[in-house]
Amino acid sequence: MQRTAFILACFFVCVKCFTQAGQPTSNHNFTHINVQNGLVQNIVYHFLEDSRGYMWFGTHNGLTMHDGTRAMNFLHNPEVKTSIAGTFITSILEDSSQQIWIGNESGIDRFNRSSLSFTHFGVDREDGTKENTYCVALGFISPAELWFLDTKTKAIRSMNTGSGKTKFLASFNTSHALLYKSAQEIHLWSAYDKGTIHQVYKHNKLVKEETFFNGKNKTRAEPELVVIHVLQQNDSTVWLSTNKGLVKLNPLLNQYEVFNSWQGQTVRELRYTVISGKNELWAATGPDGIYLFDIKSKQFINNFRSNEFDPSAICSNNIVSLYLDRMENLWCGSFGSGISYTNTQSSFFTSHISKEETSGWKSNNHVTLLGSDLQGSFWCTFQNMVGIGLLDKNLKVRKYQTPVTESGTPYDQAIYKLLFETNDEAWMATNKGLFLVNLKTNKMRAVPYPLITEEVQGSIWIKDMIRLNDGSVLFSTYAGLYHMKNTAGNPDIKTINLLKPGVYNGFGKLAQDKNGLLFVKSLSDFIYVLRPAPDPKRFELIRSIDFLPEVNQFFNYPIDSLMYIASDDGIYSINTNTLMLKKETFDDRIPFKNINSFFRKDERFWLFGEKGLYCYDKKQNRGRTFT
């Protein structure tokens, strides 16, 4: 029952957020980092997760190190020799000694962790001088040997990381390159040009060079493509991000395939690709966000785009770089809108009931749960719409109907809750009293009970309704608390008189624990605790607890004998053995105070509010917000 409650709470609180995204069938929610929350600049081309878990972001105007909470920025200062030598970051790498190396427009810098400073390395020239020039660090061939591209001389060079001495290896006519290291060979690929140059090295010697897709090869019928990024998966599979789509190239057989269509749209202007652990390829584009490509089926299967109305969408449609860290988080660098990231392995949420599904009813998709039937299907209402909807176990809308009253007219008043007696019949709590509705025939009939007051907000307006451990029903109203036993089809409804005459007797949320104690929130400032009296027709008041906040939900956690209270002032709990009240404390990162609903499983606490869902792991003493 509690598991079902959690699923329902996740769905009904979060459905609005996850059905307004610009990308169809999206179940990845992106978090944003930009200059407003610490990033040094919003054009991000390079990423690195170092061995200590820090994230490094390379921009066109400096370097940012992020520890998950705070950012530290590094900029060139001509008056400080130990500052980073350049601000146009071209690459970020880490060596086997956990040292960070940064390529930039002035050469290559090594970060010194202890002093938060940098050591600069220039390029050796034939006349014995060092020159500060635009360099792209490519990769470490050995612990002490770094290969880099010297763009001024269009050459591949190596650097001894101990001495800083550099030497020429081979010419490479490009301004950007990428390195792939196999067991026996080093592969280099050029990028940001027409076609791509492929170089193969063995024992630091260039042994092979060929060009693909430059439009000049007479022996191969290849199109002319602008290649922006090259990802070598293995010796026989290379993925090219091009201006005309995604290209799969087998360089050994000189065979290729082009993929450039998704749902009738042209996939264009690819900028970057990475492979996740699910045999999925993430492809960034300039105009259309990120595509997800299934390697096995060779098809694009999703598209993620920016949406100004959805804070969980990617930060921009112009994505220029991607990075997959050790936790399978996908980091997306944009041209001008900072960074967005999401986890590719653990998609907690899936969208259901989009606006398109409810637009035919001239309604929105704001859902309120009424209850679940004996088969586990859910019944709900939609805001601004009269009637009851049926959702199956997969949360698909099966039907929507308006119950018909005994006079034959459609029922057009509020419906708050359903409690099922049989597969087809349920007690229905409304603002016009109690009804028994047959969902199969769609007919309802009024169930009379003694009214303490007939005012509009009086005994006829039902606030909450629960089924007790013995199968009977308890419901609360603006004026009075009622207990119902269904005897041979004839409901027997009695008032529960627990307060002295003259005391306000309006009641709201209800709950019962496993031992039979009842918890009743008054519409004034008390929680009343009742227990069944020896007389089966009576209940006795055993405790009145002062409680000013509004109660949104009770949640019983029987393992600890706690009754949790989700309120507009946070989470409280009542020990059902001692009846002591206390306010629960988690951490100071909960982004909302008004808790709409609450769920606990083991040591994880799930809090739902107006700013999303907050999960607190008590064992790890850490929390996370899902928006």
305, two tokens = 């785009």
**pLDDT tens digits, one per residue of 363-413:** 777 888 889 988 888 999 887 778 898 988 788 888 889 999 999 999 999
CB atoms within 10 A of CB 74: 21
pLDDT for 68: 78
**pLDDT tens digits, one per residue of 201-236:** 999 999 999 999 998 877 778 899 999 999 999 999
Conformation bin of residue 235: beta by default, left when phi > 0, alpha when psi is -120 to 50:
alpha
Backbone dihedral angles phi then psi of residue 155, each to the nearest 5 degrees: -140, 150
Inter-residue contact 30 to 312 (CB < 8 Å): yes
Rounded distance between C-alpha atoms, residue 323 and residue 470, angstroms:
57
pLDDT confidence band for 361 (50 / 70 / 90): low
Rounded distance between C-alpha atoms, residue 49 and residue 556, angstroms:
42
Rounded distance between C-alpha atoms, residue 168 and residue 562, angstroms:
71
The full 3-state SS of 535-591, as one line of letters, equals CCCCEEEEEEEECCCCEEEEEEECCCCEEEEEEECEEEEEECCCCCEEECCCCCCCC
**pLDDT tens digits, one per residue of 159-206:** 999 999 999 999 999 999 999 999 889 999 999 999 999 999 999 999
pLDDT for 417: 95
Q: By three-state DSSP, how is residue 357 classified?
A: helix
297, two tokens = 């089926």
Residue range 40-69: mean pLDDT, rounded: 93
Rounded distance between C-alpha atoms, residue 260 and residue 262, angstroms:
7
pLDDT for 488: 62
pLDDT for 596: 94
Inter-residue contact 342 to 334 (CB < 8 Å): no
Q: Output the CA angle 149-155-160, nearest 5 degrees.
A: 60
Rounded distance between C-alpha atoms, residue 42 and residue 23, angstroms:
23
CA–CA distances in Å: residue 527 to residues 187, 340, 416, 548, 581: 72, 45, 22, 9, 10
Q: Has residue 347 got a pLDDT over 50?
A: yes
pLDDT confidence band for 348 (50 / 70 / 90): low
| Pick from 16-25, 468-477, 596-605: least confident | 16-25
347, two tokens = 């998609």
Backbone dihedral angles phi then psi of residue 356, each to the nearest 5 degrees: -65, -35
**pLDDT tens digits, one per residue of 533-548:** 877 668 999 999 999 9
Contacts 24+ apart (CB under 8 A), 589-594: 589/614, 589/623, 589/625, 590/614, 590/616, 590/623, 590/625, 591/625, 593/568, 593/569, 594/552, 594/567, 594/568, 594/569
Taking the model in full, what pTM does it have? 0.58
Q: Has residue 10 got a pLDDT over 50?
A: no
Conformation bin of residue 46: beta by default, left when phi > 0, alpha when psi is -120 to 50:
beta
pLDDT for 476: 97
pLDDT for 14: 37
**Helix H or strand E encompassing 474:** strand 473-477
